[in-house]
Amino acid sequence: MSNDQPLVIFTPSGKRGHVPKGTSVLQAARSLGVDLDSVCGGRGICSKCQIAPSIGKFDKHGITVSKDALSEWNSVEKRYDSIRGLKEGRRLGCQACILDDVVLDVPAESQMHKQIVRKSLDDTHVELDPLLRIEIIELPEATLDDEIGDAERLGEAFEGLGIKIAPLPLSVLVTLQDAIAKGKDQVTVLYRQGDVDALADIIAVWPNIYEGRICGIAVDLGSTTIAAHVIDLQTGENLASGGVMNPQIRFGEDLMSRVSYAMMNDNGAKEMTQAIQEGLDHLIGEITAEAGVERWDIFDITLVGNPIMHHLLLGIDPTPLGQSPFPLATSEAINLRASELNVSIHAEGRIYILPLIAGHVGADAAAVAYATAPHQREELTLVCDVGTNAEILLGDTNSLLACSSPTGPAFEGAQISCGQRAANGTIERAEIDPITKKVRFRVIGTDKWSDDPEFNAEVTGICGSGIIELVAEMRMAGIVDGN
């Protein structure tokens, strides 16, 4: 294709096409059916059409995007930036023009029809046994004869309970004396202790009896979406659930594309690490607000993900996972301070990452095994976790096998002409009458079935859950056989 017809690729939709050189991003989006918002008629006033160009080599697409792929900032963008400000790396789609092959990310706030990320938590009973524990401590009144500090007095009080504490972190030490004074020698202490014989880490000290929230977050770091649940660690109540699109999509929709991006670009892995850490921190801000708690009420995060997501989150080079024998940097569980991953929660908040199983079977599969426990069942049990990357577990009390395979590309368009991600208008449910073979379906955005007289939704495509259900219905209706 001539340079007069550069290729433009939009993420996360994956839509692409050649447009005349000099076409504005907004015009290109409209011509290709990309969901890019705009309400001011392209005058650079509303800022709804913001996009983020990606620079580097994209092996999957067979293109290299230079920093000159879009036109330079014009006076309209400069004026808008000086008055209201544009996030770093953002451009206004109505002003930026396409000059060469380019990959453009449409952030969630620029999409007219927001991506649907459904991440609910079922009511499965879980026995609550957190590592975080609370103790109300009565300290003896300090006297002139005391030759030890308040931290040491606190340690002696814990020894009276049969618990030895580790040296207090600075964040606790600077608040300790104020808490003791306000509580008149009575304090509530939050501590973390993994094993009975291990030293207890003091996390926080409050005056008197603390009545605030002590919360944790469970995170599933998926290839396409990040899901999270805020849990009250004292009651086990799920306070809020939410999810966002994984911002790494702009570097590649599947895992191997992201490994390729890291291999082909000097700072590719660092870019993706920064993107996922920022995305996780952003989701935590959203979900804590929904739960009605503050960031500093979060003391623990438990996180799972596939090996490539795991490595990129931690800033570990994922490229060895792109070729045989697919070695992991580590398969052990990891326990680290949240601040090490640029995540803002309580100053002493920790992130625990479950162990990985093998080169492409990760902590997410380990979590599924732990939650569903097929290895504790007498009957042979198959467990499938179907996402952009799917994990399959098969086992019983004798043994347990695990494997993984990419599935998102198949469901979302590789060989499915109408395949797309979950969004309003996407078919997510289907039923086939086994006698008449009549089909009815339901789309995201309405609870009406297609045979309801009040059904008036615009159908845009079919997502993975819709495809799975449709194939199952065809099998049960005798339309397709076991092959």
C-alpha distances (whole Å) from 117 to each of 91, 138, 245, 344, 385 are 26, 47, 7, 23, 16
**Mean pLDDT (whole number) for 323-340:** 92
Q: Is the pLDDT of residue 2 over 60?
A: no
pLDDT in tens, 75-101: 999 988 888 888 888 999 999 999 999
Give yes or no for a contact between 60 and 252, defined as CB atoms under 8 angstroms apart: yes
Average pLDDT, the chain: 88
**Counting every residue, how long is the chain?**
483
Q: Is the pLDDT of residue 354 over 50?
A: yes
| Distance from chain centroid for Cα 61 | 25
Instruction: Write the Ramachandran bin of 427: left for phi over 0, alpha for psi from -120 to 50, otherwise beta.
Output: beta
Residue 172, helix vs strand vs coil: helix
Q: Is the pLDDT of residue 348 over 50?
A: yes
Q: Write out the DSSP string of 101-126.
A: -EEEE--GGG-SSPBP----------
Give the closest residue to 57 by CA, choosing from 233, 227, 245, 266.
Answer: 266
- Sign of the Cα torsion 19, 20, 22, 26 reads negative
Q: Is the pLDDT of residue 130 over 70?
A: yes
pLDDT for residue 17 = 87
pLDDT for residue 1 = 45
Q: To the nearest whole percent, how much of the chain has pLDDT over 70?
A: 94
Indicate the DSSP class of residue 356: P
Q: Is the pLDDT of residue 192 over 60?
A: yes
- For residue 47, the tally of other CB atoms under 10 A from its CB is 22
Q: Return the axis-axis angle of helices 255-264 and 268-291, rounded to nearest 10°.
A: 130
Please give the single-letter amino acid code of residue 277. Q
pLDDT for residue 117 = 59
Band the pLDDT of 171: cuts 50, 70, 90: very high
Give yes or no for a contact between 366 and 340, defined as CB atoms under 8 angstroms apart: no
pLDDT in tens, 98-121: 999 999 988 877 876 655 555 666
Indicate the DSSP class of residue 201: E
Q: How far apart are the first and last CA of the chain?
A: 41
**Mean pLDDT (whole number) for 366-379:** 92
Pairwise CA distance, residues 428 & 99, whole Å: 38
pLDDT for residue 444 = 87
- For residue 275, the tally of other CB atoms under 10 A from its CB is 18
pLDDT in tens, 450-478: 999 999 888 878 888 888 899 999 999 99
Which of 5-14, 48-57, 212-221, 406-415 is predicted least confidently? 406-415
Q: Is the pLDDT of residue 24 over 50?
A: yes
Burial 353-377 (b: 16+ CB within 10 A, else e): bbebbebbbbbbbbbbbeeeebeee
pLDDT in tens, 135-152: 999 988 877 777 788 999
Pairwise CA distance, residues 405 & 385, whole Å: 10
pLDDT in tens, 223-281: 888 999 999 998 888 999 998 888 887 787 778 878 888 888 888 899 999 999 999 99
pLDDT in tens, 392-440: 999 999 999 999 887 766 666 556 767 777 777 889 999 999 999 999 9
Q: Is the pLDDT of residue 159 over 80?
A: yes
pLDDT for residue 407 = 77
**Mean pLDDT (whole number) for 363-389:** 90
**Mean pLDDT (whole number) for 25-49:** 83
Pairwise CA distance, residues 312 & 318, whole Å: 7
pLDDT for residue 409 = 64
Q: To the nearest whole percent, how much of the chain has pLDDT over 90?
A: 55
Give yes or no for a contact between 126 and 236, defined as CB atoms under 8 angstroms apart: yes
pLDDT in tens, 313-329: 999 999 999 888 889 99
